[in-house]
Amino acid sequence: MSQEICVIWNWVAANGQFKDMACRTMLLKLERRGYLQLPERRTAGRNNAFIGHIPIEHSTTIIECVLQDLTPLNIEVVQSSETLRLFNHLLAKYHYLGFGSTVGENMKYIVYDCYRRPLACLLFGSAAWKVAGRDQEIGWNSKTRQERLHLITSNTRFLILPWVKVPHLASHVLGRTSRRISDDWMKKYSHPIVMLETFVEQDRFHGTCYQAANWQCVGQTQGRSRNDRYSKLTVPVKDVYLYPLTKKAKERLCHEP
Protein backbone atom coordinates (compact mmCIF):
# COMPACT_ATOMS: atom_id res chain seq x y z
CA MET A 1 0.00 0.00 0.00
CA SER A 2 2.71 2.46 0.96
CA GLN A 3 4.56 1.91 -2.31
CA GLU A 4 1.37 2.42 -4.32
CA ILE A 5 0.75 5.73 -2.52
CA CYS A 6 4.32 6.82 -3.25
CA VAL A 7 3.73 6.09 -6.95
CA ILE A 8 0.40 7.95 -7.08
CA TRP A 9 1.74 10.98 -5.17
CA ASN A 10 5.16 10.84 -6.83
CA TRP A 11 6.54 10.83 -3.28
CA VAL A 12 10.24 10.38 -3.93
CA ALA A 13 13.48 11.62 -2.44
CA ALA A 14 16.06 13.61 -4.38
CA ASN A 15 17.86 10.36 -5.22
CA GLY A 16 14.72 9.00 -6.91
CA GLN A 17 13.87 6.41 -4.24
CA PHE A 18 10.33 6.17 -2.89
CA LYS A 19 9.84 7.58 0.62
CA ASP A 20 8.34 4.27 1.68
CA MET A 21 9.18 4.42 5.40
CA ALA A 22 7.87 7.99 5.70
CA CYS A 23 4.65 6.90 4.01
CA ARG A 24 4.26 3.92 6.35
CA THR A 25 4.76 6.17 9.37
CA MET A 26 2.09 8.55 8.06
CA LEU A 27 -0.37 5.69 7.57
CA LEU A 28 0.20 4.35 11.09
CA LYS A 29 -0.34 7.83 12.58
CA LEU A 30 -3.58 8.25 10.62
CA GLU A 31 -4.76 4.85 11.85
CA ARG A 32 -3.96 5.71 15.49
CA ARG A 33 -5.96 8.94 15.17
CA GLY A 34 -8.95 7.06 13.76
CA TYR A 35 -8.90 8.51 10.24
CA LEU A 36 -8.52 5.12 8.55
CA GLN A 37 -8.23 1.41 9.22
CA LEU A 38 -5.30 -0.40 7.69
CA PRO A 39 -5.62 -3.98 6.42
CA GLU A 40 -4.24 -6.78 8.54
CA ARG A 41 -0.45 -6.97 8.46
CA ARG A 42 0.87 -9.75 6.26
CA THR A 43 4.01 -10.22 8.36
CA ALA A 44 5.14 -9.00 11.74
CA GLY A 45 7.33 -5.93 11.42
CA ARG A 46 10.86 -5.74 12.75
CA ASN A 47 11.02 -4.18 16.16
CA ASN A 48 13.78 -1.60 15.71
CA ALA A 49 13.39 -0.38 19.26
CA PHE A 50 14.14 -3.88 20.52
CA ILE A 51 17.09 -4.22 18.17
CA GLY A 52 18.50 -1.01 19.61
CA HIS A 53 18.57 -2.59 23.07
CA ILE A 54 20.51 -5.73 22.13
CA PRO A 55 23.51 -5.62 24.50
CA ILE A 56 26.82 -5.00 22.74
CA GLU A 57 30.02 -5.63 24.67
CA HIS A 58 32.10 -2.47 25.02
CA SER A 59 34.66 -0.96 27.37
CA THR A 60 33.57 1.58 29.97
CA THR A 61 37.06 2.38 31.20
CA ILE A 62 37.33 6.04 32.18
CA ILE A 63 38.93 8.21 29.50
CA GLU A 64 40.11 11.40 31.19
CA CYS A 65 42.75 13.46 29.41
CA VAL A 66 43.25 16.44 27.12
CA LEU A 67 41.85 16.31 23.60
CA GLN A 68 45.28 16.24 21.98
CA ASP A 69 45.99 12.88 23.62
CA LEU A 70 43.18 11.29 21.59
CA THR A 71 43.78 12.81 18.17
CA PRO A 72 43.42 12.27 15.34
CA LEU A 73 39.76 11.51 15.93
CA ASN A 74 37.90 9.43 13.38
CA ILE A 75 34.30 10.48 12.71
CA GLU A 76 32.62 7.69 10.76
CA VAL A 77 29.25 7.40 9.08
CA VAL A 78 27.43 4.36 10.47
CA GLN A 79 27.08 1.92 7.58
CA SER A 80 27.83 -1.68 8.54
CA SER A 81 25.32 -3.76 10.50
CA GLU A 82 27.88 -4.29 13.25
CA THR A 83 28.48 -0.56 13.69
CA LEU A 84 24.74 0.10 13.55
CA ARG A 85 24.14 -2.34 16.41
CA LEU A 86 26.80 -0.58 18.48
CA PHE A 87 25.34 2.84 17.66
CA ASN A 88 21.81 1.74 18.56
CA HIS A 89 22.95 0.16 21.81
CA LEU A 90 25.00 3.14 22.99
CA LEU A 91 22.18 5.62 22.36
CA ALA A 92 19.52 3.34 23.81
CA LYS A 93 21.51 2.73 26.98
CA TYR A 94 23.26 6.03 27.65
CA HIS A 95 21.26 8.86 26.06
CA TYR A 96 18.64 10.34 28.39
CA LEU A 97 15.99 10.16 25.64
CA GLY A 98 16.88 6.60 24.71
CA PHE A 99 16.66 5.46 21.11
CA GLY A 100 14.29 3.37 19.06
CA SER A 101 14.41 3.79 15.29
CA THR A 102 14.71 6.41 12.56
CA VAL A 103 12.27 7.43 9.84
CA GLY A 104 13.10 9.44 6.74
CA GLU A 105 16.45 10.91 5.79
CA ASN A 106 19.05 10.64 8.54
CA MET A 107 22.77 10.45 9.17
CA LYS A 108 24.45 8.52 11.98
CA TYR A 109 28.02 9.04 13.17
CA ILE A 110 30.27 7.32 15.69
CA VAL A 111 33.38 9.15 16.87
CA TYR A 112 36.48 7.09 17.67
CA ASP A 113 39.78 8.18 19.18
CA CYS A 114 43.20 7.28 17.79
CA TYR A 115 43.08 4.01 19.76
CA ARG A 116 39.78 3.03 18.12
CA ARG A 117 37.75 3.56 21.30
CA PRO A 118 34.24 4.99 20.77
CA LEU A 119 33.81 8.44 22.31
CA ALA A 120 30.55 9.84 20.99
CA CYS A 121 27.47 9.26 18.82
CA LEU A 122 25.57 11.78 16.71
CA LEU A 123 22.23 11.41 14.94
CA PHE A 124 20.84 13.87 12.42
CA GLY A 125 17.31 13.55 11.07
CA SER A 126 14.41 15.45 9.58
CA ALA A 127 14.06 19.09 10.60
CA ALA A 128 11.13 20.16 12.76
CA TRP A 129 8.05 21.06 10.74
CA LYS A 130 7.50 24.54 12.16
CA VAL A 131 9.62 26.57 14.60
CA ALA A 132 8.83 30.27 15.01
CA GLY A 133 12.35 31.44 15.91
CA ARG A 134 13.99 29.45 13.14
CA ASP A 135 11.47 30.41 10.49
CA GLN A 136 11.73 34.10 11.38
CA GLU A 137 15.54 33.96 11.37
CA ILE A 138 15.57 32.39 7.90
CA GLY A 139 12.72 34.52 6.54
CA TRP A 140 10.42 31.65 5.67
CA ASN A 141 6.75 31.72 4.85
CA SER A 142 4.79 28.48 4.98
CA LYS A 143 5.14 27.76 1.24
CA THR A 144 8.90 28.28 1.13
CA ARG A 145 9.38 26.29 4.33
CA GLN A 146 7.53 23.33 2.86
CA GLU A 147 9.65 23.49 -0.31
CA ARG A 148 13.05 23.88 1.40
CA LEU A 149 12.72 22.08 4.74
CA HIS A 150 14.69 19.12 3.39
CA LEU A 151 17.79 21.37 3.20
CA ILE A 152 17.94 21.51 7.02
CA THR A 153 18.73 18.57 9.28
CA SER A 154 18.18 18.38 13.03
CA ASN A 155 20.78 17.06 15.45
CA THR A 156 18.30 14.93 17.39
CA ARG A 157 20.87 12.98 19.43
CA PHE A 158 24.35 13.97 20.60
CA LEU A 159 25.97 11.67 23.13
CA ILE A 160 29.40 11.95 24.68
CA LEU A 161 29.76 8.58 26.38
CA PRO A 162 29.51 8.99 30.17
CA TRP A 163 32.98 7.62 30.95
CA VAL A 164 34.65 10.10 28.56
CA LYS A 165 35.89 13.19 30.43
CA VAL A 166 37.70 15.28 27.82
CA PRO A 167 37.41 19.10 27.83
CA HIS A 168 36.35 20.69 24.53
CA LEU A 169 35.62 17.31 22.92
CA ALA A 170 31.94 18.06 22.26
CA SER A 171 32.48 21.38 20.48
CA HIS A 172 35.39 19.89 18.50
CA VAL A 173 33.20 17.01 17.32
CA LEU A 174 30.39 19.39 16.35
CA GLY A 175 32.80 21.50 14.33
CA ARG A 176 34.30 18.51 12.54
CA THR A 177 30.90 17.01 11.79
CA SER A 178 29.48 20.27 10.44
CA ARG A 179 32.29 20.46 7.88
CA ARG A 180 31.49 17.08 6.36
CA ILE A 181 27.77 16.44 6.79
CA SER A 182 26.58 18.14 3.60
CA ASP A 183 28.92 16.02 1.48
CA ASP A 184 27.80 12.90 3.35
CA TRP A 185 24.17 13.84 2.75
CA MET A 186 24.80 14.42 -0.95
CA LYS A 187 26.37 10.98 -1.29
CA LYS A 188 23.47 9.28 0.47
CA TYR A 189 20.44 11.32 -0.63
CA SER A 190 21.61 13.30 -3.71
CA HIS A 191 21.01 16.72 -2.20
CA PRO A 192 23.04 18.94 0.13
CA ILE A 193 22.32 20.29 3.59
CA VAL A 194 22.77 24.03 4.10
CA MET A 195 21.82 24.47 7.77
CA LEU A 196 21.80 22.47 11.00
CA GLU A 197 19.35 22.84 13.87
CA THR A 198 19.06 21.42 17.35
CA PHE A 199 16.87 21.81 20.43
CA VAL A 200 18.31 22.04 23.94
CA GLU A 201 16.07 21.47 26.97
CA GLN A 202 16.33 24.57 29.16
CA ASP A 203 15.76 22.69 32.42
CA ARG A 204 18.42 20.10 31.66
CA PHE A 205 21.25 21.70 29.64
CA HIS A 206 22.85 25.08 28.92
CA GLY A 207 23.87 24.43 25.32
CA THR A 208 27.50 25.22 26.13
CA CYS A 209 29.05 22.94 23.51
CA TYR A 210 26.81 24.34 20.76
CA GLN A 211 27.69 27.88 21.77
CA ALA A 212 31.39 26.99 21.76
CA ALA A 213 30.97 25.58 18.24
CA ASN A 214 29.38 28.89 17.12
CA TRP A 215 25.79 27.73 16.85
CA GLN A 216 23.32 30.60 17.27
CA CYS A 217 20.38 30.53 19.67
CA VAL A 218 17.41 32.04 17.82
CA GLY A 219 14.62 31.56 20.35
CA GLN A 220 12.67 28.98 22.29
CA THR A 221 10.07 26.40 21.43
CA GLN A 222 6.50 26.71 22.65
CA GLY A 223 6.45 23.33 24.39
CA ARG A 224 5.22 21.33 21.38
CA SER A 225 6.56 18.18 19.77
CA ARG A 226 8.66 18.66 16.62
CA ASN A 227 6.06 16.77 14.55
CA ASP A 228 2.95 18.19 16.23
CA ARG A 229 0.97 20.26 13.77
CA TYR A 230 -2.16 20.34 15.92
CA SER A 231 -0.96 21.81 19.27
CA LYS A 232 -1.96 18.70 21.22
CA LEU A 233 1.39 17.39 22.52
CA THR A 234 3.22 19.03 25.43
CA VAL A 235 7.00 18.75 25.78
CA PRO A 236 9.68 20.71 27.71
CA VAL A 237 10.57 24.17 26.45
CA LYS A 238 13.82 24.10 24.48
CA ASP A 239 16.32 26.62 23.16
CA VAL A 240 16.55 26.58 19.37
CA TYR A 241 20.05 26.62 17.87
CA LEU A 242 21.01 27.03 14.21
CA TYR A 243 24.29 26.58 12.38
CA PRO A 244 24.57 27.69 8.73
CA LEU A 245 26.89 25.55 6.63
CA THR A 246 27.49 28.22 3.98
CA LYS A 247 27.76 32.01 4.04
CA LYS A 248 24.57 32.28 1.98
CA ALA A 249 22.57 29.59 3.75
CA LYS A 250 19.56 31.84 4.37
CA GLU A 251 19.48 32.93 0.73
CA ARG A 252 19.67 29.29 -0.38
CA LEU A 253 16.78 28.43 1.93
CA CYS A 254 14.63 31.26 0.60
CA HIS A 255 15.47 31.32 -3.12
CA GLU A 256 16.41 28.91 -5.85
CA PRO A 257 20.19 28.56 -6.30
pLDDT of residue 32: 74
Number of H helices, E strands in the chain: 10, 9
DSSP H or E segment with residue 133? helix 132-138
Q: What is the DSSP letter of 241?
A: E
Domain definitions of the chain by residue range: 46-254
Closest CA to 67 of 161, 159, 165: 165
DSSP H or E segment with residue 52? helix 48-52
pLDDT of residue 8: 61
Contact 190, 150 (CB under 8 A): no
pLDDT of residue 33: 74
The pTM of this model reads 0.79
pLDDT below 50 — which residues of the chain?
44-52, 226
pLDDT of residue 64: 98
CATH number of 46-254: 3.40.630.30
Q: What is the pLDDT of residues 35-52, one digit of tens each?
A: 778 787 665 444 444 444
Helix %, strand %, coil % of the chain (to 5) = 35, 20, 45
Other residues' Cβ atoms within 10 Å of the Cβ of residue 154? 18
pLDDT of residue 14: 53
pLDDT of residue 72: 96
pLDDT of residue 52: 43
